[in-house]
Amino acid sequence: MKRILRYLKPHILTLAAATVLVLLLIGVELWRPIVIGDAIDNYIEGYEAIGSVEAAFRGILQAAALYLCLLLSGFVLNAAHTWLLQKMGQKIIYTLREEVFTHIHSLSLGFFNETPVGKLVTRVVNDTEAVNELFTSVLVKLFKNTVKILGYALIMLYFSPKMALVSFALLPLVTVLTFIFRFYSRRAYELTRNRITDINTFLSEHLSGMSVIQAFSREEKKYGEFEEKSRKLYQANWREVMTFAVFRPSIYFISILAMALVIGVGSRGVLDGTLSLGTLFVFITYITSFFDPIQDLAEQFGTLQSSLASADKIFSILDVKPGIQNPPVPVQPEIRGRIEFRHVWFAYEKEDYILKDVSFVIEPGQKTAFVGATGAGKSSILNLIGRYFDIQKGEILIDGVDIRQLDKSALRSAIGQVQQDVFLFTGDIRSNIDLGNETISREDVIAAAKTVCADTFIEKLPQGYDTPVTERGSTLSAGQRQLISFARTLAYKPAILVLDEATANIDTETESLITKALEKLMEGRTTIMVAHRLSTIQHADQILVMQGGRIAESGTHQELLTKDGLYKKLYDLQLVTN
């Protein structure tokens, strides 16, 4: 609670204004029954003392006018107070949502490998909305209802201590019910939040993998799994509903009993002449409203628990420290592209090393290829060059500077990556090439597309570069998506080019186009390639053969064939396979 309330600091004046409005609103609500009570005593029961019916009627009209003014004042105060709170709450949630999303972007790839996407979506969307309830409803209602209960109690004690004590006779029972409700509502809220997270995670994963589900005819199985999760969410929601369904009528029943006591004792007082009829009316009105804020307090406590549970889940994300930290004073050299690994050891988990004492040098403009069996450590080397993970031992140098001393953004901006699994965003062709970078003009986008021969299909599309792209580029072929990825990389003019199985999903004709484009692309750039098809990397200046996390062999294509080692075996195996 202390931590979430810090978000109120920039809005302290708005909160103060809302508090004043709430106090005025409570004052108006407490005053209204008194106006009617006074009218009953002074102008209905006591009209004879006034002297004429006309004078009494004028008094009643004045009381009615005052009552109407109080109603209108209450409407205006409530509207202004609601508007202020909603505006403040939306600003806070906007800030919190931006903070969570920005923080998620700063986290390392390891975090995303371990955290389901659906869980993150729930934190950014559902949980922030639950926290919104804390600022727009819970805090002020807690304050409002507490003040209202105290106000009712004090006024009733002022009018008649005896009647007040009668009115409070059932409060112990209400207190017991409230504590019971608070316990069950908290558990119900927490269970519902967890079930929502589960179903969001399931949906995110299975909608993304729909092609696999349909390819293996697992629809019925997934229907069953979703039905189970949906049933659990239904049960959690129903449990929450039933908790309220029992509590509200219980409080209402107690309020009816309290009213019966007030009417019974008060009527005797009116008949005895110890209590005025107007005062009895005030007590009946107050006792009718007295239990409403108590009920609200109990229900708001449940909402408070839900909001705090959601806030706790949000903070669990915000408390995750980025695995890759920017240095306090980052070095920002003009990156030329010299890469050096010095006795690098790297493991994703503890000491299960993927790379073991790896050392090599890639000179600026040099074309280097990594080959080897799956799991040999090729892709890990690419991840380390972009500093998506940090090594445990050794050094990685870019132009003689340890990459841990370089600014992360500057380093990654200097590296252009083309991956085997191309990700396209919803938007259009152009936005998937420039990624919203305002420094990249439309002409730059077109030039990059032409260089990699992507214009051959883009210009045939109905709207050219403005053609809409659906989620993940599902309406484009694998080859077309890869060409767009090439154009994207080139548009950013990187000093270092990283190709991770860049031609694996491309047909022979498209590969021929890209091969020609790559020759221009790689001119003047340090290029690192990972490929299983050895035919695509024969032109490399050096080939590093990985085995078991170490560099087993190095040299040019011809030199490695001459050595008659691991590379020669891989090459001969592919010849036989082809």
Distances in whole angstroms, Cα of residue 232 to Cα of each of 125, 126, 191, 235, 525: 21, 18, 9, 5, 55
Question: Which element (helix H / strand E) includes 395?
Answer: strand 393-398
Does pLDDT of 511 surpass 70?
no
> What does the pLDDT read at residue 51?
65
Backbone angles phi, psi at 413, to 5 degrees: -70, -25
Mean pLDDT for the stretch of residues 383-393: 90
Mean pLDDT for the stretch of residues 192-214: 81
| 3-state SS assignment for residue 417 | strand
Could you tell me which residues are beta bridge partners of residue 544?
370, 554
Mean pLDDT for the stretch of residues 315-321: 89
Going by pLDDT thresholds of 50, 70 and 90, the confidence category of residue 576 is low
| 3-state SS assignment for residue 8 | helix
Question: Which element (helix H / strand E) includes 543?
Answer: strand 542-547
> What does the pLDDT read at residue 24?
92
Is the four-CA dihedral 54, 55, 59, 61 of positive or negative sign? positive
DSSP letter assigned to residue 325:
P
Q: CATH number for the 4-318 domain, one of 1.20.1560.10, 3.30.2130.10, 2.60.40.10, 3.40.309.10? A: 1.20.1560.10
Does pLDDT of 481 surpass 80?
yes
| 3-state SS assignment for residue 165 | helix
Mean pLDDT for the stretch of residues 70-75: 93
Q: pLDDT exceeding 90 applies to what percent of the chain? A: 14
Report the alpha-carbon distance of residue 313 to residue 304 in Å, rounded: 14
Does pLDDT of 75 surpass 80?
yes
| Edge-first strand listing for the sheet containing 415-418 | 415-418, 496-500, 526-530, 367-372, 542-547, 550-555
> What does the pLDDT read at residue 4?
86
Backbone angles phi, psi at 386, to 5 degrees: -85, 0
Going by pLDDT thresholds of 50, 70 and 90, the confidence category of residue 116 is confident
**The Cα angle at residue 494 between residues 491 and 497, in degrees rounded to 5:** 110
**pLDDT, tens digit, 9 for 90 and up, residues 225-237:** 889 999 999 998 8
With tokens 């998620």, the residue in question is 104
- The torsion of the CA quartet 479, 485, 487, 491, rounded to 10 degrees, works out to 180
**The pairing of beta strand 401-402 with beta strand 468-469:** unpaired
> Is the model more confident about 79 or about 206?
79
DSSP letter assigned to residue 11:
G
Q: What number of other Cβ atoms are within 10 A of residue 404's Cβ?
A: 18
DSSP letter assigned to residue 322:
P
> What does the pLDDT read at residue 439?
87
Q: pLDDT exceeding 70 applies to what percent of the chain? A: 95
Does pLDDT of 578 surpass 60?
no
Question: The tokens of 219 are what?
Answer: 């629809």
> What does the pLDDT read at residue 508?
62
* 255 class by beta-carbon count within 10 Å (0-12 exposed, 13-18 middle, 19+ buried): buried
Is the four-CA dihedral 456, 457, 458, 461 of positive or negative sign? positive
* 504 class by beta-carbon count within 10 Å (0-12 exposed, 13-18 middle, 19+ buried): middle
| End-to-end CA separation in angstroms for the chain | 65
Going by pLDDT thresholds of 50, 70 and 90, the confidence category of residue 249 is confident
Over the range 146-175, which residues count as b (16 or more CB within 10 Å of their CB) and which as e? ebbbebbbebbeebbeebbebbbebbeebe
Sorted by where each begins, the domain ranges of the chain are 4-318
